[in-house]
Amino acid sequence: MVFEGLADKLQQTFKKLRGRGKLSESDVNDALREVRMALLEADVNFKVVKDFVAKVKERAIGHEVLESLTPAQQVVKIVNDELTALMGGTMSRIAISPKPPTVVMLVGLQGAGKTTTAGKLALLLKKQNKRPLLVAADIYRPAAIKQLEVLGEKLEIPVFTLGDKEKPVVIAKKAIEHAQAYANDIVIIDTAGRLHINAELMDELKSVKQTVRPHEILLVVDAMTGQDAVTVAESFNNDLGLDGVILTKLDGDARGGAALSVKAVTGCPIKFAGMGEKLEALEPFHPDRMASRILG
Ligand code: GDP
Protein backbone atom coordinates (compact mmCIF):
# COMPACT_ATOMS: atom_id res chain seq x y z
CA MET A 1 0.00 0.00 0.00
CA VAL A 2 1.23 3.48 -0.82
CA PHE A 3 2.88 5.43 2.01
CA GLU A 4 2.77 2.38 4.27
CA GLY A 5 6.13 2.96 5.94
CA LEU A 6 5.71 6.71 6.22
CA ALA A 7 2.18 6.41 7.59
CA ASP A 8 3.30 3.96 10.30
CA LYS A 9 6.18 6.14 11.40
CA LEU A 10 4.30 9.44 11.43
CA GLN A 11 1.34 7.95 13.23
CA GLN A 12 3.65 6.58 15.93
CA THR A 13 5.36 9.94 16.29
CA PHE A 14 2.09 11.79 16.70
CA LYS A 15 0.70 9.21 19.09
CA LYS A 16 3.64 9.86 21.36
CA LEU A 17 3.11 13.60 21.01
CA ARG A 18 -0.56 13.32 21.93
CA GLY A 19 0.37 11.35 25.03
CA ARG A 20 2.32 14.30 26.38
CA GLY A 21 -0.48 16.80 26.83
CA LYS A 22 1.16 20.19 26.97
CA LEU A 23 4.11 20.52 24.61
CA SER A 24 7.41 22.31 24.89
CA GLU A 25 9.44 23.57 22.01
CA SER A 26 11.82 20.66 22.40
CA ASP A 27 8.93 18.14 22.25
CA VAL A 28 7.98 19.61 18.88
CA ASN A 29 11.58 19.61 17.72
CA ASP A 30 11.95 15.94 18.67
CA ALA A 31 8.80 15.06 16.78
CA LEU A 32 9.95 17.00 13.74
CA ARG A 33 13.26 15.20 13.79
CA GLU A 34 11.30 11.95 13.53
CA VAL A 35 9.17 13.39 10.74
CA ARG A 36 12.34 14.33 8.88
CA MET A 37 13.77 10.82 9.25
CA ALA A 38 10.52 9.21 8.17
CA LEU A 39 10.33 11.37 5.03
CA LEU A 40 13.92 10.59 4.12
CA GLU A 41 13.28 6.89 4.62
CA ALA A 42 10.27 7.24 2.33
CA ASP A 43 12.74 8.40 -0.33
CA VAL A 44 11.52 11.97 -0.48
CA ASN A 45 13.97 14.37 -2.12
CA PHE A 46 16.46 15.73 0.44
CA LYS A 47 15.85 19.39 -0.27
CA VAL A 48 12.09 18.89 -0.28
CA VAL A 49 12.33 17.34 3.19
CA LYS A 50 14.44 20.21 4.47
CA ASP A 51 12.02 22.87 3.21
CA PHE A 52 9.03 20.91 4.44
CA VAL A 53 10.32 20.53 7.98
CA ALA A 54 11.33 24.20 8.09
CA LYS A 55 7.82 25.26 7.09
CA VAL A 56 6.14 23.02 9.64
CA LYS A 57 8.51 24.20 12.33
CA GLU A 58 7.86 27.84 11.60
CA ARG A 59 4.15 27.32 12.06
CA ALA A 60 4.30 24.82 14.93
CA ILE A 61 6.63 26.57 17.33
CA GLY A 62 4.80 29.56 18.69
CA HIS A 63 2.30 30.54 21.35
CA GLU A 64 -0.72 29.71 19.32
CA VAL A 65 0.19 26.06 19.05
CA LEU A 66 2.14 25.46 22.23
CA GLU A 67 -0.34 27.30 24.46
CA SER A 68 -3.37 25.71 22.87
CA LEU A 69 -5.42 23.08 24.68
CA THR A 70 -4.67 20.49 22.01
CA PRO A 71 -1.15 21.25 20.85
CA ALA A 72 -0.45 17.80 19.37
CA GLN A 73 -3.57 18.00 17.24
CA GLN A 74 -2.48 21.41 16.02
CA VAL A 75 0.88 20.02 14.99
CA VAL A 76 -0.79 17.15 13.14
CA LYS A 77 -3.05 19.63 11.37
CA ILE A 78 -0.07 21.70 10.27
CA VAL A 79 1.71 18.60 8.96
CA ASN A 80 -1.48 17.60 7.15
CA ASP A 81 -1.80 21.06 5.54
CA GLU A 82 1.82 21.11 4.49
CA LEU A 83 1.72 17.57 3.07
CA THR A 84 -1.33 18.57 1.04
CA ALA A 85 0.44 21.69 -0.21
CA LEU A 86 3.54 19.66 -1.03
CA MET A 87 1.54 17.40 -3.33
CA GLY A 88 0.01 20.36 -5.15
CA GLY A 89 -2.72 21.59 -2.81
CA THR A 90 -5.80 21.09 -4.91
CA MET A 91 -6.66 18.52 -7.54
CA SER A 92 -5.46 19.38 -11.06
CA ARG A 93 -7.67 18.45 -13.97
CA ILE A 94 -7.04 18.01 -17.66
CA ALA A 95 -7.69 21.27 -19.49
CA ILE A 96 -10.51 20.56 -21.93
CA SER A 97 -10.25 22.65 -25.08
CA PRO A 98 -13.30 24.75 -25.95
CA LYS A 99 -12.70 23.67 -29.53
CA PRO A 100 -12.65 19.86 -29.78
CA PRO A 101 -10.75 17.68 -29.99
CA THR A 102 -8.69 18.13 -26.84
CA VAL A 103 -5.35 16.57 -27.62
CA VAL A 104 -3.55 14.73 -24.82
CA MET A 105 -0.04 13.51 -25.49
CA LEU A 106 1.24 10.81 -23.18
CA VAL A 107 5.00 10.58 -22.92
CA GLY A 108 7.30 8.40 -20.87
CA LEU A 109 9.87 5.66 -20.79
CA GLN A 110 9.20 2.05 -21.69
CA GLY A 111 7.69 0.02 -18.91
CA ALA A 112 6.33 3.04 -17.05
CA GLY A 113 2.81 1.97 -17.93
CA LYS A 114 2.15 4.43 -20.75
CA THR A 115 0.08 2.18 -23.01
CA THR A 116 -1.99 0.77 -20.15
CA THR A 117 -2.53 4.29 -18.83
CA ALA A 118 -3.69 5.49 -22.26
CA GLY A 119 -6.44 2.87 -22.08
CA LYS A 120 -7.27 3.69 -18.47
CA LEU A 121 -7.49 7.41 -19.18
CA ALA A 122 -9.70 6.82 -22.21
CA LEU A 123 -12.03 4.72 -20.05
CA LEU A 124 -12.17 7.36 -17.34
CA LEU A 125 -13.07 10.00 -19.93
CA LYS A 126 -15.59 7.76 -21.63
CA LYS A 127 -17.34 7.40 -18.28
CA GLN A 128 -17.56 11.21 -18.25
CA ASN A 129 -19.45 11.02 -21.55
CA LYS A 130 -16.50 11.97 -23.70
CA ARG A 131 -15.72 10.30 -27.01
CA PRO A 132 -12.02 9.48 -26.82
CA LEU A 133 -9.83 8.28 -29.66
CA LEU A 134 -6.71 6.32 -28.77
CA VAL A 135 -3.72 6.81 -31.04
CA ALA A 136 -0.97 4.21 -31.39
CA ALA A 137 2.19 6.22 -31.99
CA ASP A 138 4.58 4.07 -29.95
CA ILE A 139 6.22 2.48 -32.96
CA TYR A 140 9.37 1.29 -31.23
CA ARG A 141 8.05 -1.21 -28.75
CA PRO A 142 6.93 -4.03 -31.04
CA ALA A 143 3.91 -5.05 -28.99
CA ALA A 144 2.65 -1.57 -28.08
CA ILE A 145 0.39 -1.06 -31.09
CA LYS A 146 -1.24 -4.45 -30.73
CA GLN A 147 -1.57 -3.88 -26.99
CA LEU A 148 -3.45 -0.63 -27.56
CA GLU A 149 -5.70 -2.27 -30.14
CA VAL A 150 -6.57 -5.04 -27.70
CA LEU A 151 -7.26 -2.47 -24.98
CA GLY A 152 -9.46 -0.44 -27.32
CA GLU A 153 -11.48 -3.50 -28.24
CA LYS A 154 -11.98 -4.44 -24.62
CA LEU A 155 -13.05 -0.92 -23.68
CA GLU A 156 -15.05 -0.34 -26.88
CA ILE A 157 -12.97 2.73 -27.62
CA PRO A 158 -11.67 3.38 -31.15
CA VAL A 159 -7.93 3.09 -31.78
CA PHE A 160 -6.18 4.91 -34.62
CA THR A 161 -3.11 3.19 -36.03
CA LEU A 162 -1.00 3.34 -39.17
CA GLY A 163 1.25 0.46 -38.18
CA ASP A 164 4.91 0.94 -37.31
CA LYS A 165 6.21 2.22 -40.64
CA GLU A 166 4.91 5.79 -40.46
CA LYS A 167 6.59 8.40 -38.29
CA PRO A 168 4.84 9.36 -35.03
CA VAL A 169 4.35 12.91 -36.33
CA VAL A 170 2.42 11.63 -39.33
CA ILE A 171 0.36 9.25 -37.21
CA ALA A 172 -0.53 11.99 -34.73
CA LYS A 173 -1.50 14.47 -37.44
CA LYS A 174 -3.69 12.01 -39.30
CA ALA A 175 -5.26 10.87 -36.04
CA ILE A 176 -6.44 14.39 -35.28
CA GLU A 177 -8.00 14.69 -38.73
CA HIS A 178 -9.68 11.36 -38.08
CA ALA A 179 -10.99 12.62 -34.72
CA GLN A 180 -12.42 15.70 -36.39
CA ALA A 181 -14.14 13.60 -39.00
CA TYR A 182 -15.57 11.14 -36.49
CA ALA A 183 -16.45 13.62 -33.73
CA ASN A 184 -14.02 12.27 -31.19
CA ASP A 185 -13.65 15.05 -28.66
CA ILE A 186 -10.49 13.76 -26.94
CA VAL A 187 -7.43 12.38 -28.68
CA ILE A 188 -5.03 10.42 -26.50
CA ILE A 189 -1.69 9.85 -28.17
CA ASP A 190 0.44 6.96 -26.89
CA THR A 191 3.81 8.29 -28.05
CA ALA A 192 7.02 6.41 -28.62
CA GLY A 193 8.85 5.37 -25.49
CA ARG A 194 12.46 4.31 -25.10
CA LEU A 195 14.37 2.49 -22.41
CA HIS A 196 16.28 5.64 -21.51
CA ILE A 197 15.98 9.34 -22.17
CA ASN A 198 18.00 10.29 -25.22
CA ALA A 199 18.17 13.07 -27.76
CA GLU A 200 16.44 11.01 -30.41
CA LEU A 201 13.42 10.44 -28.19
CA MET A 202 13.19 14.07 -27.18
CA ASP A 203 13.58 15.33 -30.75
CA GLU A 204 10.81 13.07 -31.88
CA LEU A 205 8.49 14.12 -29.07
CA LYS A 206 9.29 17.77 -29.75
CA SER A 207 8.35 17.39 -33.39
CA VAL A 208 5.07 15.71 -32.42
CA LYS A 209 4.44 18.57 -30.02
CA GLN A 210 5.16 21.20 -32.68
CA THR A 211 2.97 19.50 -35.24
CA VAL A 212 -0.12 18.75 -33.19
CA ARG A 213 0.14 21.39 -30.44
CA PRO A 214 -1.37 19.22 -27.72
CA HIS A 215 -3.48 20.83 -25.01
CA GLU A 216 -1.91 18.55 -22.44
CA ILE A 217 1.43 16.80 -22.34
CA LEU A 218 1.36 14.31 -19.50
CA LEU A 219 4.35 12.29 -18.37
CA VAL A 220 3.61 8.73 -17.34
CA VAL A 221 6.13 7.67 -14.74
CA ASP A 222 6.53 4.67 -12.44
CA ALA A 223 6.14 5.69 -8.79
CA MET A 224 8.04 2.63 -7.65
CA THR A 225 11.25 4.04 -9.10
CA GLY A 226 11.23 6.76 -6.41
CA GLN A 227 13.67 9.61 -7.00
CA ASP A 228 14.49 8.25 -10.48
CA ALA A 229 10.90 9.10 -11.38
CA VAL A 230 11.52 12.64 -10.21
CA THR A 231 14.71 12.91 -12.27
CA VAL A 232 12.87 11.62 -15.33
CA ALA A 233 10.12 14.18 -14.74
CA GLU A 234 12.69 16.97 -14.47
CA SER A 235 14.31 16.00 -17.78
CA PHE A 236 11.04 15.73 -19.68
CA ASN A 237 9.84 19.00 -18.23
CA ASN A 238 13.05 20.82 -19.14
CA ASP A 239 13.19 19.42 -22.67
CA LEU A 240 9.55 19.24 -23.62
CA GLY A 241 7.50 21.15 -21.04
CA LEU A 242 4.92 19.13 -19.14
CA ASP A 243 1.39 20.01 -18.08
CA GLY A 244 1.29 17.27 -15.52
CA VAL A 245 2.37 13.87 -14.36
CA ILE A 246 0.57 10.55 -14.12
CA LEU A 247 2.14 8.39 -11.43
CA THR A 248 1.64 4.71 -12.12
CA LYS A 249 2.00 1.71 -9.80
CA LEU A 250 1.26 3.80 -6.73
CA ASP A 251 -0.48 0.68 -5.44
CA GLY A 252 2.88 -1.05 -5.20
CA ASP A 253 4.81 1.93 -3.84
CA ALA A 254 5.14 1.44 -0.09
CA ARG A 255 7.41 4.48 0.26
CA GLY A 256 5.81 7.30 -1.71
CA GLY A 257 8.92 9.38 -2.37
CA ALA A 258 7.98 10.28 -5.94
CA ALA A 259 4.43 11.26 -5.02
CA LEU A 260 5.78 13.59 -2.35
CA SER A 261 8.61 15.11 -4.41
CA VAL A 262 7.47 15.50 -8.03
CA LYS A 263 5.42 18.68 -7.61
CA ALA A 264 7.95 20.44 -5.40
CA VAL A 265 10.92 19.56 -7.61
CA THR A 266 9.41 20.08 -11.07
CA GLY A 267 6.47 22.40 -10.46
CA CYS A 268 4.29 19.96 -12.43
CA PRO A 269 1.16 18.72 -10.71
CA ILE A 270 0.33 15.03 -10.44
CA LYS A 271 -2.98 14.74 -12.26
CA PHE A 272 -3.72 11.02 -11.98
CA ALA A 273 -2.47 7.99 -10.11
CA GLY A 274 -2.43 4.40 -11.33
CA MET A 275 -3.58 2.19 -8.48
CA GLY A 276 -3.46 -1.27 -10.04
CA GLU A 277 -3.33 -3.31 -13.21
CA LYS A 278 -7.09 -3.24 -13.75
CA LEU A 279 -8.32 -0.79 -16.35
CA GLU A 280 -10.56 0.94 -13.82
CA ALA A 281 -7.56 1.56 -11.57
CA LEU A 282 -6.74 5.15 -12.56
CA GLU A 283 -7.79 7.88 -10.16
CA PRO A 284 -7.64 11.66 -10.22
CA PHE A 285 -4.89 12.60 -7.76
CA HIS A 286 -6.26 14.32 -4.67
CA PRO A 287 -3.42 15.82 -2.58
CA ASP A 288 -5.68 16.21 0.48
CA ARG A 289 -6.85 12.61 0.40
CA MET A 290 -3.28 11.42 -0.02
CA ALA A 291 -2.23 13.46 3.02
CA SER A 292 -5.06 11.91 5.04
CA ARG A 293 -3.92 8.49 3.95
CA ILE A 294 -0.51 9.23 5.43
CA LEU A 295 -1.75 10.66 8.70
CA GLY A 296 -4.54 8.14 9.20
P1 GDP B 1 4.68 1.03 -21.40
O2 GDP B 1 5.90 0.35 -21.89
O3 GDP B 1 5.02 2.30 -20.68
O4 GDP B 1 3.63 1.26 -22.43
O5 GDP B 1 4.07 0.09 -20.24
P6 GDP B 1 2.78 -0.84 -20.18
O7 GDP B 1 1.55 -0.05 -20.34
O8 GDP B 1 2.95 -2.01 -21.08
O9 GDP B 1 2.84 -1.32 -18.66
C10 GDP B 1 3.91 -2.03 -18.10
C11 GDP B 1 3.39 -2.88 -16.95
O12 GDP B 1 3.00 -2.06 -15.87
C13 GDP B 1 2.17 -3.72 -17.30
O14 GDP B 1 2.33 -5.01 -16.76
C15 GDP B 1 1.03 -2.98 -16.61
O16 GDP B 1 -0.05 -3.83 -16.26
C17 GDP B 1 1.72 -2.44 -15.40
N18 GDP B 1 1.03 -1.28 -14.83
C19 GDP B 1 0.71 -0.11 -15.43
N20 GDP B 1 0.12 0.74 -14.58
C21 GDP B 1 0.05 0.11 -13.38
C22 GDP B 1 -0.44 0.47 -12.08
O23 GDP B 1 -0.94 1.58 -11.82
N24 GDP B 1 -0.31 -0.47 -11.09
C25 GDP B 1 0.25 -1.68 -11.32
N26 GDP B 1 0.34 -2.52 -10.29
N27 GDP B 1 0.73 -2.05 -12.52
C28 GDP B 1 0.63 -1.18 -13.54
CB 195 within 8 A of CB 160: no
Range 122-135 average pLDDT? 98
The reply to whether the predicted model has a pTM over 0.90 is yes
Whether the per-residue pLDDT at 142 is higher than 80: the answer is no
Q: Where are the alpha helices (DSSP H) in the chain?
A: 4-18, 25-41, 46-60, 63-66, 71-86, 114-127, 144-155, 168-182, 199-212, 227-239, 257-266, 287-295
pLDDT, the chain, mean: 95
Whether the per-residue pLDDT at 64 is higher than 90: the answer is no
Position 267 scores a pLDDT of: 97
pLDDT 10s digits, 152-185: 999 999 999 999 999 999 999 999 999 999 999 9
Pick the closest to residue 23 from 34, 35, 12, 31 (CA basis). Answer: 31
Ligand 1 atom, smallest distance to 147 CA: 8
**Cα 183 to ligand 1 centroid, rounded to whole Å:** 29
Whose Cα sits closest to atom 11 in ligand 1? 113
> What is the rounded distance in angstroms from the CA atom of residue 147 to the CA atom of residue 118?
11
Sign of the alpha-carbon torsion through 19, 25, 28, 30: negative
CB 133 within 8 A of CB 179: yes
Please give all residues whose beta carbon lies within 6 A of any atom in ligand 1, as ranges.
108, 110-116, 141, 144, 193, 248-249, 251-252, 274-277, 281
Q: Which amino acid is at 185?
A: D
Whether the per-residue pLDDT at 203 is higher than 90: the answer is yes
DSSP structure class, residue 193: P
pLDDT 10s digits, 221-266: 999 999 999 999 999 999 999 999 999 999 999 999 999 999 999 9
